[in-house]
């Protein structure tokens, strides 16, 4: 069913197109149902327009130019590039005059594009998405609490201590919450544009100031240090030339780094210690610390290793030196994490997962074949989109790296150097964030608005199943899903020793779930593009806690005689 894009006539008229994602190699756009019932088209004009859509390059440019004149379009839009994202503010839809006209044009263009045979595909309908009934005995989260303070997409959650967390998003405010009660503790406002990075700055042991600090970077090209106990704005730096997209803290040296179009090193008092030369226009997309005072920055397709020179007796100057560039990725690097003391891992837009050695920066292992794992010929044809295999996020434990690849989840074993379990269509659309829970569980959240809980289980029937010995099988008829040309994949298919079992899902958000935060004691916090934060609680545990509190209260009030 194709529903044409239409503009609502009045502000109160509600257009419901609940997260419709139509994904093609080239164009992604989704219609987000906001909490205020304000539909906002989010248009991603992707970089590669395939031949069948050549005509729409012009259209995309048109859309882009339309979008650009709108006042509320974010300023980080540069010139038209092959891969650009356009965010339209909901307010645009009710503008009169040129903006509304522009939006109208946009809608008609989108409609025309959607009528393209390849685009009319509804991926959701044909995906073998694993589902789970509503009886989820292993899902402990039976209570939820909706927290509402943000006025735009909430993109970041950061844990402050055992019972507090902060949220930040496109509305430029940071909100500090109590994770137990859901109480809004503080609202920190100082940024004029959306927040692009947030990080906690743990207090120094020696320092008498024990207040927890957080650093936020914003598209308004500032970084603010907040005291999140008092809500005070401690310091503000506004001498950046570009938006800071990532922040990292080197606690050992008590400095922090900001990554934009260049890399800057700052001390606690926000004095600029040193900076690199201009790296790239797109800027540093990810930044991690590795031993020997080095940092790895992901810039476009490259990983650049920088060495930080702390002041010594010889020189009082800080310095940052480029040590090495790693060029193994074929495409933009989207994710970069430290896995353990020995290695770090990076993932790219085209599904390359590379594990690097932290000491000599060599490739330990590489996994590139996620894209070929799609099951049928048919689907390959329909789903050949790099978007679907971009690696958005990693998490890890001692043995495994868990990767969010496109819509799927993969478990890569570091010892065996191969994928030991996978769930190719874990969600309806891209998985944005994953995290590992204690007991071999994994949580993932996705653009489709759902959060799912998975458990990594050993496959029991593995021994009983005869392992195909390869060669004939490779050419075997009837097994269309086995690609002859990909023995690696075949091997994986047959020998993944583990499986990811869906044990529960959390439905609550009406739009893309951007991130979540797991609290050991208080449950799960999710944030979403629908402006909401949801606190998911273990119902039984909460019930017990409430009883405990109740009896405490009774005792305090001296009402216990009621129960005698």
Partner 1 sequence: MISAPDVVAFTKEDEYEEEPYNEPALPEEYSVPLFPFASQGTNPWSKLSGAKFSRDFILISEFSEQVGPQPLLTIPNDTKVFGTFDLNYFSLRIMSVDYQASFVGHPPGSAYPKLNFVEDSKVVLGDSKEGAFAYVHHLTLYDLEARGFVRPFCMAYISADQHKIMQQFQELSTEFSKASECLKTGNRKAFAGELEKKLKDLDYTRTVLHTETEIQKKANDKGFYSSQAIEKANELASVEKSIIEHQDLLKQIRSYPHRKLKGSDLCSREMERIQDQPDQAATTSNPDESVDTDLFTCRPSYTPKLIKAKSTKCFDKKLKTLEELCDTEYFTQTLAQLRHIEHMFRGDLCYLLTSQIDRALLKQQHVTNFLFEDLVEVSDRVVEKQKSSPPQPCQDRPLSRSLEECPIPQVLISIGSYKSSVESVLIKMEQELGDQEYKEVEVTELSSFDAQENLDYLDLDMKGSISSGESIEVLGTEKSTSVLSKSDSQASLTVPLSPQVVRSKAVSYRTISEDSIEVLSTCPSEALIPDDFKASYPSAINEEESYAGDSEGAIHFQASISPPVLDEAEEGSLENTPSQTDSSCCIGKESDSLGVPPSTPVHTLSDEDGVVSSPPQHYRQKDQGFPVDLAVENAHPSQDNTSEGFPAYELDPSRLLASRDVSKSSLDNYSDTTSYVSSVASTSSDRTPSSAHPAGPSSERHQKRAGQNALKFIRQYPFAHPAIYSLLSGRTLVVLGEDEAIVRKLVTALSIFVPNYSRSVKPVKHWVSSPLHIMDFQKWKLIGLQRVASPASAGTLHSLSRYSRYTSILDLDNKTLRCPLYRGTLVPRLADHRTQIKRGSTYYLHVQSMLTQLCSKAFLYTFCHHLHLPAHDKETEELVASRQASFLKLNLGLVNEDVKVVQYLAELLKLHYMQESHGTSHPTLRKEPSWRMKPVHGGV
Residues interacting with partner 1, by CB under 8 A?
A: 3, 14-18, 33, 35, 37, 133-136, 141-146, 148, 181-184, 507-510, 532, 534-535, 537, 539-540, 542-544, 546-551, 553-554, 556-557, 562-563
Contact predicate 5/112, CB 8 Å: no
CB of 549 to partner 1, least distance (A): 6
Report d(CA 273, CA 74) in Å as an integer: 30
Among 240, 324, 326, smallest CA distance to 283 is for 240
Nearest CA among 156, 154, 157, 192 for reference residue 172:
192
Closest distance of CB 260 from partner 1, Å:
36
Cβ of residue 121: shortest distance to partner 1, in angstroms?
19
- Backbone phi, then psi, for 382, in 5-degree steps? -80, -30
Q: Smallest gap, in angstroms, from Cβ of residue 34 to partner 1?
A: 10
- Residue 147 or 257 having the CB closest to partner 1: 147
To partner 1, the closest distance from the beta carbon of 214 in angstroms equals 22
d(CA 96, CA 212): 46
Quick check: 283 and 266 in contact, CB under 8 A?
no
How far CA 475 is from CA of 369, 378, 478, 556, in Å, comes to: 19, 18, 9, 76
Cβ atoms of 513 and 432 closer than 8 Å:
yes
- Residue 545 C-beta: closest distance to partner 1, Å: 10
Tell me the DSSP string of 374-415: -S-HHHHHHT--GGGG-EEEEEE-SSEEEEEETTEEEEEETT
Nearer to partner 1 by C-beta: 87 or 141?
Answer: 141
Nearest to 515 by CA among 501, 502, 534, 500: 534
Using the minimum distance from each CB to partner 1, give the nearer residue, 220 or 448.
448
Closest approach, Cβ 548 to partner 1, in A, equals: 7
Based on CB atoms, which residue is closest to partner 1, 131 or 461?
131
Please, what sign has the CA dihedral across residues 113, 116, 118, 122?
positive
The tokens describing 252, both together, are 């050992």
What is the rounded distance in angstroms from the CA atom of residue 528 to the CA atom of residue 513? 4
CA distance 503 to 512: 21
Q: Residue 15 or residue 337: which is nearer to partner 1 going by CB?
A: 15
From the CB of 514, what's the least distance to partner 1, in Å?
16
Nearer to partner 1, 268 or 522 (CB): 522
**Based on CB atoms, which residue is closest to partner 1, 40 or 420?**
40
**Choice between 18 and 120, CB closer to partner 1:** 18
Query: What angle do helix axes 55-68 and 98-114 make, rounded to 10 degrees?
Result: 160
User: Minimum distance between the CB of residue 181 and partner 1, rounded to whole angstroms?
Assistant: 5
In the complex, the smallest distance separating the C-beta of residue 532 from partner 1, rounded to whole angstroms, is 7
CB 225 within 8 A of CB 234: yes
Residue number with CB closer to partner 1 (131 or 485):
131
* Residue with Cβ nearer partner 1 (104 or 184): 184
Q: Do 409 and 369 touch, CB atoms closer than 8 A?
A: no
């Amino acid at each position: 069913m194709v529903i044409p894009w239409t503009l609502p006539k009045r502000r109160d008229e509600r257009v419901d197109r609940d997260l419709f994602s139509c994904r093609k190699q080239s164009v992604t756009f989704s219609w987000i149902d906001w909490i205020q019932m304000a539909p906002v088209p989010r248009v991603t004009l992707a970089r590669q327009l395939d031949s069948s859509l050549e005509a729409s390059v012009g259209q995309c440019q048109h859309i882009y130019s339309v979008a650009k004149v709108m006042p509320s379009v974010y300023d980080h839009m540069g010139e038209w590039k092959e891969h650009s994202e356009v965010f339209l503010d909901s307010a645009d839809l009710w503008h009169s005059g040129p903006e509304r006209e522009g939006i109208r044009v946009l809608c008609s263009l989108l409609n025309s594009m959607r009528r393209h045979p390849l685009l009319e595909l509804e991926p959701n309908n044909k995906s073998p998405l694993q589902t789970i009934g509503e009886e989820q005995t292993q899902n402990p989260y039976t209570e939820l609490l909706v927290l509402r303070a943000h006025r735009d997409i909430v993109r970041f959650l950061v844990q402050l201590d055992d019972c507090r967390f902060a949220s930040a998003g496109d509305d430029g405010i940071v909100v500090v919450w109590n994770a137990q009660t859901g109480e809004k503790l503080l609202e920190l406002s100082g940024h004029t544009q959306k927040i692009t990075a947030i990080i906690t700055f743990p207090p120094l042991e020696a320092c008498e100031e024990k207040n927890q600090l957080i650093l936020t970077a914003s598209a308004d090209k500032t970084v603010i240090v907040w005291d999140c106990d008092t809500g005070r704005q401690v310091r503000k730096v506004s001498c950046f030339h570009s938006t800071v997209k990532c922040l990292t803290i080197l606690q050992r040296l008590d400095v922090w780094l900001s990554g934009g179009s260049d890399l800057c090193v700052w001390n606690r008092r926000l004095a600029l210690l040193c900076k690199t030369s201009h790296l790239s226009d797109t800027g540093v997309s990810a930044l991690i610390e590795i031993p020997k005072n080095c940092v790895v920055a992901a810039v476009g397709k490259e990983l650049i290793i920088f060495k930080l020179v702390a002041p010594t007796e010889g020189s009082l100057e800080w310095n940052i030196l480029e040590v090495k560039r790693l060029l193994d990725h074929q495409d933009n690097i989207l994710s970069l994490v430290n896995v353990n003391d020995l290695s770090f891992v990076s993932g790219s837009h085209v599904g390359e997962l590379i594990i690097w050695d932290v000491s000599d920066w060599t490739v330990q292992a590489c996994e590139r074949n996620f894209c070929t794992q799609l099951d049928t010929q048919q689907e390959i044809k329909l789903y050949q989109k790099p978007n679907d295999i971009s690696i958005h996020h990693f998490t890890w434990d001692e043995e495994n790296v868990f990767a969010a690849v496109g819509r799927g989840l993969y478990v890569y074993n570091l010892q065996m150097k191969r994928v030991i379990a996978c769930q190719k269509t874990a969600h309806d659309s891209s998985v944005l964030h994953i995290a590992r829970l204690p007991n071999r569980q994994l949580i993932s959240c996705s653009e489709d608005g759902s959060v799912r809980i998975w458990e990594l289980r050993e496959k029991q029937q593995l021994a009983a199943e005869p392992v195909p010995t390869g060669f004939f099988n490779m050419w075997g008829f009837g097994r269309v899903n086995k690609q002859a040309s990909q023995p690696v994949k075949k091997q994986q298919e047959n020998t993944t020793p583990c499986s990811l079992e869906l044990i529960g899902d959390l439905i609550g958000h009406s739009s893309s779930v951007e991130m979540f935060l797991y609290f050991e004691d208080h449950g799960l916090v999710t944030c979403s593009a629908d402006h909401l934060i949801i606190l998911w609680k273990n119902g039984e545990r909460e019930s017990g806690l409430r009883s405990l509190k109740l009896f405490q209260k009774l005792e305090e009030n001296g009402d216990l005689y009621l129960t005698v």
